[in-house]
């Protein structure tokens, strides 16, 4: 597999595809002892893993910059996110408490048993965080893990696998297997020893994975696409919203499932808001290239007659400028996930219409509501069909709060305090007093 730097179009390295059966075998072997490691010791090992990652933030960030072209700030944040996830979930092993439930004639107690081998199938847009969203809580709950990074971006996952060993995690507890999704990913999903699949990627592949998981009733979490909307009411702080919006659409060059790629603006402030927005869009530079030549062609296929556009740094690399398009409801760019730095804008007249337009999509991941009216903020936030939403802000993902989608954006939740539980099955035991 040739790994390319998308900022320069140069080959960085070649990586041999791995063997998924060997990775699952190692994980299965390691599970027997990992699940029995005392909770305090498992916690200590995860804290040590976090420290080793912390000592390699610059190295991991540099690898990611070379593999994806991300700006240094983004790449560093992504590496620190891995450290923070390990730190946060290192608090989980001693706190995975079951319950004692009152019954007649004995005692009833529950235990949160680890599932076994968990496969984490990772896309190319956030290679480090998305891997850690799966492996950190899964390991904390006593599972062993096989990570399958995307073919385009395998390098940080391979390094994180080495760092886990450096930190003292036993061999086989955290495994990384590279290779194409159609072969290696598919084998992990259908392997009888894999008990849960965490998948992040496209809806098409997510649907296929869910169907394959049905074979062995393998548990599955799906984090899929999005077509999230910003709903901006006339009473909002327009200047603040204009300054914040480009980051919410163009960060990671729009290759973000939470990207607010649709903007609904109350008609009375539509033109004023676009004038405020324009300099922030044309001046937006904190952005890398798209991941591949093919992906740039896909993004470009949506763009015709932009309202305004930013610029790109040069001829080499798969760059695409921040772009704003006028939209009507039937437009392809309004309806399909572009996964690039493209914002589609449409006016609305009433609150009901804004909600109707925002919900008129098969996706339901994220979104934002901008208004100074707290009643309306709450009303509209509850009505918009998404898994996460922010008011007067564009934030969406914090490792200590739950994240995931509704409708075709996914199934299940990741992150937050409950994530380790989703890597366990509850066992109920009755003990007779006789």
Interacting residues with ligand NDP (CB under 6 A) = 121-125, 148, 150-151, 180-182, 185-186, 189, 200-202, 205, 208-209, 223-225, 257, 337, 339
Phi, psi of 154 (to 5 degrees): -90, -5
H helix and E strand count, the chain: 14, 18
CB of 418: closest distance to ligand NDP in angstroms?
21
CB of 254: closest distance to ligand NDP in angstroms?
10
Q: What is the DSSP letter of 408?
A: G
Looking at beta carbons only, is 139 or 150 nearer to ligand NDP?
Answer: 150
Burial letters 152-173, b for 16+ CB under 10 A, else e = bbbbbbbbbbebbeebebeebb
Looking at beta carbons only, is 257 or 269 nearer to ligand NDP?
Answer: 257
Distance CA 277, CA 185 (A): 42
Looking at beta carbons only, is 179 or 322 nearer to ligand NDP?
Answer: 179
257 is catalytic: yes
258 is catalytic: no
Out of 198, 213, 257, 258, which one is annotated catalytic?
257
> 152 and 3 in contact (C-beta within 8 Å)?
yes
Looking at beta carbons only, is 310 or 404 nearer to ligand NDP?
Answer: 404
HSE, CB side, 13 Å, CA atoms: give it for residue 193: 18
Looking at beta carbons only, is 148 or 413 nearer to ligand NDP?
Answer: 148
Partners of 5 in beta bridges: 10
Looking at beta carbons only, is 87 or 223 nearer to ligand NDP?
Answer: 223
CB of 295: closest distance to ligand NDP in angstroms?
6
Burial letters 293-324, b for 16+ CB under 10 A, else e = eebbeebeebbeeebebbeeeeeebbbbbbbb
Q: Are strands 117-121 and 194-200 parallel, antiparallel or unpaired?
A: parallel
CB of 360: closest distance to ligand NDP in angstroms?
19
CB of 245: closest distance to ligand NDP in angstroms?
20
Looking at beta carbons only, is 150 or 388 nearer to ligand NDP?
Answer: 150
Whole-number Cα distances in Å, 101 to 98, 108, 422: 10, 5, 21
HSE, CB side, 13 Å, CA atoms: give it for residue 232: 29
CB of 377: closest distance to ligand NDP in angstroms?
27
CB of 179: closest distance to ligand NDP in angstroms?
7
Burial (Cβ within 10 Å: 0-12, 13-18, ≥19) of residue 202: middle
Out of 64, 78, 223, 414, which one is annotated catalytic?
223
Distance CA 40, CA 91 (A): 9
Nearest to 371 by CA among 260, 238, 275: 238
Return the beta strands (E) in 80-225 as ranges.
Answer: 100-101, 106-114, 117-121, 144-148, 174-176, 194-200, 219-223
Distance CA 379, CA 391 (A): 11
Distance CA 266, CA 273 (A): 10
Looking at beta carbons only, is 3 or 243 nearer to ligand NDP?
Answer: 3
CB nearest ligand NDP: which residue?
181
CB of 265: closest distance to ligand NDP in angstroms?
25
* Helix, coil or strand: residue 226: coil
Catalytic residues: 223, 257
């Amino acid at each position: 597999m040739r790994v390319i730097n998308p900022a320069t179009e140069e080959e960085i390295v070649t990586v041999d595809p791995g063997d998924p059966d060997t990775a699952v075998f190692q994980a299965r072997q390691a599970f027997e002892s990992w699940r029995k490691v005392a909770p305090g010791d498992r916690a200590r090992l995860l804290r040590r893993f976090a420290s080793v990652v912390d000592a390699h933030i610059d190295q991991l960030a540099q690898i990611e910059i070379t593999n994806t072209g991300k700006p240094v700030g983004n790449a560093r944040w992504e590496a620190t996110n891995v450290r923070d996830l390990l730190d946060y979930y290192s608090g989980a092993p001693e706190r995975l408490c079951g319950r004692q439930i009152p019954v007649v004639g004995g005692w009833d107690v529950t235990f949160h048993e680890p599932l076994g081998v968990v496969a984490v199938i990772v896309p190319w847009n956030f290679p480090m965080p998305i891997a850690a969203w799966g492996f950190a809580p899964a390991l904390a709950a006593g599972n062993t893990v096989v990570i399958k990074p995307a073919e385009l971006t395998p390098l940080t996952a391979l390094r994180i696998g080495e760092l886990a060993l450096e930190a003292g995690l036993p061999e086989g507890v955290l495994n990384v297997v590279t290779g194409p999704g159609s072969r290696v990913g598919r084998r992990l999903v259908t392997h009888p020893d894999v008990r849960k699949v965490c998948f992040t990627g496209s809806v098409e592949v997510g649907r296929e994975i869910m169907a394959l998981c049905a074979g062995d009733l393998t548990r599955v979490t799906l984090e899929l696409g999005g077509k999230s909307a910003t709903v901006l009411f006339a009473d909002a702080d327009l200047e603040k919203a204009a300054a914040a919006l480009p980051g919410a659409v163009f960060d990671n060059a729009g290759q973000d499932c939470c990207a607010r790629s649709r903007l609904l603006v109350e008609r009375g402030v539509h033109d004023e808001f676009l004038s405020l927005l324009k300099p922030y869009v044309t001046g937006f530079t904190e952005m890398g290239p798209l991941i591949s030549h093919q992906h740039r062609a896909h993004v470009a296929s949506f763009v015709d007659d932009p309202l305004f556009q930013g610029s790109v740094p040069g001829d080499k690399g798969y760059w695409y400028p921040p772009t704003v398009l006028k939209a009507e409801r039937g437009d392809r760019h309004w309806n399909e996930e572009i996964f690039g730095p493209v914002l589609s804008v449409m006016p609305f007249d009433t609150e009901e219409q804004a909600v109707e337009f925002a919900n008129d999509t098969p996706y339901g991941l994220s979104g934002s509501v901008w208004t100074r009216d707290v009643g309306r903020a709450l009303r509209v936030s509850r009505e918009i069909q998404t898994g996460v939403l922010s008011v007067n802000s564009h934030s969406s993902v914090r490792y200590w709060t739950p994240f995931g989608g509704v409708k075709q954006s996914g199934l299940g939740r990741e992150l937050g305090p409950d994530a380790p539980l989703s890597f366990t099955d509850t066992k109920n035991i009755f003990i007779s007093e006789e």
